[in-house]
A and B are shown apart, each in its own frame.
Chain A
Amino acid sequence: MKNRILVVEDDAAIRDAVLLNLQFADYDAVAFDDGKKAADALESDHTYDLALLDIMLPGMDGFELFGLMEQYGIPVIYMTAKTDSASEIKGLRDGAEDYIVKPFDPLTLMVRIEKVLKRVGKWNAVYRVKDIVVNTETHTVTKGGEPIELQPLEFDVLVALLRHKNMTVSRERLLNEVWGFDYLGETRMVDVKISALRRKLDLEDAIRSIHKLGYRLEDR
């Protein structure tokens, strides 16, 4: 089951980019450009695991929409250009799970979405790529139904690549997401884990080295 995400953003460029990023990461995303339209659509379909809301919206603003989200039990992340602390405080006090300030980095958005989904217990713990199934709850990997043994760090690198599927992730970013922000290790460690993953999971073509940028797990 893919996680379903509602996006309400009136700026077409941002909306399209966020949708594309969500698709890459295997989310099932639905987008609206108007608060009122989103609210009307919610009446018939409100089976979303998460909502990404802009605050300044035509029709109905993000804060107003939040009331509906609460009603349907949909956790909310605000995407806002408002950097003033007043609106952040209002957003969070009203119960929003998180907010992300524009302009934001899509990889960070993905990490935040995952964190919120895990926190509210709606996280779909299973990633799929080709015939490989990765279960982050049981820490198991199967390929074509056969279990594959991975070292813990190899597993974590694989999950980080899956989290940003179809997006290039730098070695530094992988280090940060796997070993934590404080880690000052060699980026070569990443290369070692990547080659192990390629070998064990037969992903030589799918995990691409992008010159000067990092690695990309391609699946489209």
Chain B
Amino acid sequence: MKLYQRITLLVSIVLTVVILAVSLSLLLFAKNTILSLSTEQVQRKQKTLRTSFSEMANYYARSDDSEAVHNSLIKLCFNRFSDQSSVLMRNGKPVSTGVTIDPSAYVGPDSEAFSEGTPVAITVQGRNLLIAGSSASVGTESYSVYVVEDITDTYARIQRMAWIFAGVSIAAIALGAVVVMLLVRRSTKPITALSGVAKEIADGAYEKRVAVRTKDEIGTLGEDFNRMADAVETKISELEERNERQRLFIGGVTHEFKTPMTGLILHAGLLRRANLSEDERDASLAHIEAQTQWLERLTQNLLKLFTSDEEIELESVRIPELLETVEEGVAPKLKEKSAALTVQCETDTLVLNPDLMHSLLNNLVVNAANAYDADAPEKPIVLSVTGRTFSVSDRGRGIPKEAQDRIFEPFFRVDKSRSKKQGGSGLGLALVKTIADAHGATITVDSEPGKGTTVSVILPE
């Protein structure tokens, strides 16, 4: 059952009960009021009639009157005050009557109501009657004076009133139910819309939002819902981006492993299966050695890449000492390239991770040495530290503009064959970037093809 249906049903039931109770009690109250008014009226009327008749009859009656005169006198006196509802009886026989029934059959002379003169309500032949009677004495004679009031019309009015009450009640209940239904439907409509959007989002349409129009709780719910959807969308796209990066990275790693693996498999196969000459055997073994060394470098760098991605430990480090160890580390490479390195240091201590920063600077200097132009020995590589900025400059061949954005991507190589010949794993600058990120540092690249490259790493304050 839908919410609006349930609420409408509940409200209708409550409305029915309340309206019925109210109208019934009103009706009963009205009926009682009207009846008691009629009763009082009838009682008063009977009392007046009896008193007036008895006073007048006693005044005029003489004990020496003949029976015929007496009877005429009694009738005259009674008729003086009677109307068509009045009945006068003597010894159970009507003397004068305006009605067709015998009231003494309903209110006998021995009944309590008769002695008190209180009206009694009865129904005779479909008519509602109020009968009030009491005795009146004229001389020694005892008469019964009755008033028989027909209140059928009053009853009919009360019944009509009941029908009107019922009609109004039903109309009120129906109207109430319809209004409640419309209201509830109107206020649940945004919930239906919300549910629709929630389904779409669940099916992957993360960009969907609900239109918020109202300022009530449902409007707030809509706004909160949209905020939640924003958060979900951001998170999802972050995850997707990360996933994509990881996919690309794993693809890159796989690709990087496949090449040396192929070399290894081919040469191992040759050594095992072919009848090679001494020189060929040597060449194969040399290839195997070079490929395994390459794989070793690759795994080392991968390991560093993964471990420096995490929270790193920082300490206060004396920069001149750090630079000394970097200089020692790159010495063989510089010698191989017959490149010169100038170190300039204007900073005493900085807070950083010395092992990772050593790795970073080592990678930058090795890259600079690889770009180094052996024909121009008068232009040394410069490693300088000023304030919180580490810079490595070379006057080598530079990086083409279109490649500058991509050099920090894993396995991106500006010049594939050259880099491989120089033993690059394709992860050097990716590692530099990861280490810089772990330090919260920013990297800037300033390079012009043919003129050289300066890479700067600026530590945060």
Q: Taking beta carbons and an 8 Å cutoff, which residues of A are in contact with B?
A: 10-14, 16-18, 20-21, 24, 33-34, 56-59, 81-84, 102-106, 166-169, 208, 210, 213, 216, 218, 220
Q: Which residues of A contact B260 (CB under 8 A)?
A: 13
Which of B277, B291, B417 is close to A33, meaning CB atoms less than 8 Å apart?
B417
Beyond the given A13-B287, A17-B284, please list 20 additional residue pairs across the A-B interface where CB-CB is below 8 A. Answer: A13-B262, A13-B288, A13-B291, A17-B266, A18-B266, A20-B276, A21-B274, A56-B255, A56-B416, A59-B417, A81-B262, A83-B254, A84-B251, A102-B261, A167-B274, A169-B273, A208-B275, A210-B273, A213-B272, A220-B275
Contact: A213 with B263, CB < 8 Å? no
Q: Which residues of A contact B291 (CB under 8 A)?
A: 13
The answer to whether B395 has its CB under 8 Å from any CB of chain A is: no
List 3 A-B pairs, minimum CB-CB distance, nearest first: A13-B263, A17-B266, A58-B417
Q: Which residues of A contact B277 (CB under 8 A)?
A: 220
Which of A14, A57, A216, A218 is close to B263, meaning CB atoms less than 8 Å apart?
A14
Contact: B417 with A16, CB < 8 Å? no
Write 14 A-B pairs (CB below 8 A) sorted by A numbering.
A10-B420, A13-B263, A13-B264, A13-B287, A17-B263, A17-B287, A20-B280, A81-B255, A81-B262, A83-B258, A84-B251, A166-B275, A208-B275, A216-B274
Between A16, A82, A105, the greatest number of chain B beta carbons within 10 A of the residue's beta carbon is seen for A16
Contact: B262 with A103, CB < 8 Å? yes
> Which residue from chain B places its CB closest to the CB of A35 in the assembled complex?
B417
Between B255, B262, B269, the greatest number of chain A beta carbons within 10 A of the residue's beta carbon is seen for B262
Task: Type the 1/0 row for B213-248, where 1 means its CB is closer than 8 Å to any CB of A.
Answer: 000000000000000000000000000000000000
Q: Taking beta carbons and an 8 Å cutoff, which residues of B are in contact with A?
A: 251, 254-255, 258-267, 269-270, 272-277, 280, 283-284, 287-288, 290-291, 415-418, 420
Between A11, A24, A213, the greatest number of chain B beta carbons within 10 A of the residue's beta carbon is seen for A11
> Which residue from chain B places its CB closest to the CB of A12 in the assembled complex?
B287
Contact: A218 with B266, CB < 8 Å? no
> Which residue from chain B places its CB closest to the CB of A82 in the assembled complex?
B255
Q: Which residues of B contact A218 (CB under 8 A)?
A: 275
> Which residue from chain A places its CB closest to the CB of B266 in the assembled complex?
A17
Q: Which residues of B contact A18 (CB under 8 A)?
A: 266
Given the complex of chains A and B, what is the CA–CA distance between A166 and B270 in angstroms? 10
Q: Is chain A's interface secondary structure helix, strand, loop, or mixed overall?
A: loop
Contact: B418 with A58, CB < 8 Å? yes
Contact: B258 with A81, CB < 8 Å? yes
Which of B263, B272, B283, B420 is close to A168, meaning CB atoms less than 8 Å apart?
B272
Contact: A213 with B416, CB < 8 Å? no
Given the complex of chains A and B, what is the CA–CA distance between A167 and B275 in angstroms? 7
Contact: A167 with B273, CB < 8 Å? yes
Contact: A103 with B258, CB < 8 Å? yes
Between B255, B276, B277, B290, the greatest number of chain A beta carbons within 10 A of the residue's beta carbon is seen for B255
Q: Which residues of A contact B251 (CB under 8 A)?
A: 84
Q: How far is the CB of B43 from chain A (nearest CB, A)?
A: 110
Contact: B272 with A20, CB < 8 Å? no
Contact: B262 with A102, CB < 8 Å? yes
Q: How far is the CB of B281 from chain A (nearest CB, A)?
A: 11
> Which residue from chain B places its CB closest to the CB of A218 in the assembled complex?
B275
Contact: B273 with A13, CB < 8 Å? no
Q: Which residues of B contact A24 (CB under 8 A)?
A: 274
Q: Which residues of A contact B417 (CB under 8 A)?
A: 10, 33-34, 58-59
Given the complex of chains A and B, what is the CA–CA distance between A59 and B284 in angstroms? 26
> Which residue from chain B places its CB closest to the CB of A15 in the assembled complex?
B263
Given the complex of chains A and B, what is the CA–CA distance between A102 and B261 in angstroms? 8
Contact: A13 with B274, CB < 8 Å? no
Q: Which residues of B contact A10 (CB under 8 A)?
A: 416-417, 420
Q: How far is the CB of B448 from chain A (nearest CB, A)?
A: 22
Q: Which residues of B contact A105 (CB under 8 A)?
A: 265, 269
Q: Which residues of B contact A102 (CB under 8 A)?
A: 258-259, 261-262
Between B251, B259, B261, the greatest number of chain A beta carbons within 10 A of the residue's beta carbon is seen for B259
Q: Which residues of B contact A12 (CB under 8 A)?
A: 287
> Which residue from chain A places its CB closest to the CB of B416 in the assembled complex?
A58
Given the complex of chains A and B, what is the CA–CA distance between A83 and B251 in angstroms? 9
Q: Which residues of A contact B290 (CB under 8 A)?
A: 13
Given the complex of chains A and B, what is the CA–CA distance between A17 and B270 in angstroms? 7
Contact: A16 with B287, CB < 8 Å? yes
Contact: A20 with B270, CB < 8 Å? yes
Given the complex of chains A and B, what is the CA–CA distance between A113 and B240 in angstroms? 42
Q: Which residues of B contact A20 (CB under 8 A)?
A: 270, 274, 276, 280
Contact: A58 with B262, CB < 8 Å? no
> Which residue from chain A places its CB closest to the CB of B256 in the assembled complex?
A81
Q: Which residues of B contact A220 (CB under 8 A)?
A: 275, 277
Q: Which residues of B contact A13 (CB under 8 A)?
A: 260, 262-264, 266-267, 287-288, 290-291
In the complex where A81-B255, A103-B258, A103-B261 touch, is A11 in contact with B420 (Cβ < 8 A)? yes
Contact: B269 with A106, CB < 8 Å? yes
Between B258, B280, B283, the greatest number of chain A beta carbons within 10 A of the residue's beta carbon is seen for B258
Q: Which residues of A contact B269 (CB under 8 A)?
A: 17, 105-106, 167
> Which residue from chain B places its CB closest to the CB of A213 in the assembled complex?
B273
Contact: A168 with B274, CB < 8 Å? yes
Q: How far is the CB of A110 from chain B (nearest CB, A)?
A: 12
Q: Which residues of B contact A103 (CB under 8 A)?
A: 258, 261-262, 264-266
Contact: B266 with A11, CB < 8 Å? no
Contact: A14 with B420, CB < 8 Å? no
Q: Which residues of A contact B284 (CB under 8 A)?
A: 16-17
Q: How far is the CB of B403 from chain A (nearest CB, A)?
A: 14
Given the complex of chains A and B, what is the CA–CA distance between A16 and B263 in angstroms? 9
Q: How far is the CB of A57 from chain B (nearest CB, A)?
A: 8
Given the complex of chains A and B, what is the CA–CA distance between A33 and B420 in angstroms? 12
Which of A11, A21, A81, A216 is close to B275, meaning CB atoms less than 8 Å apart?
A216
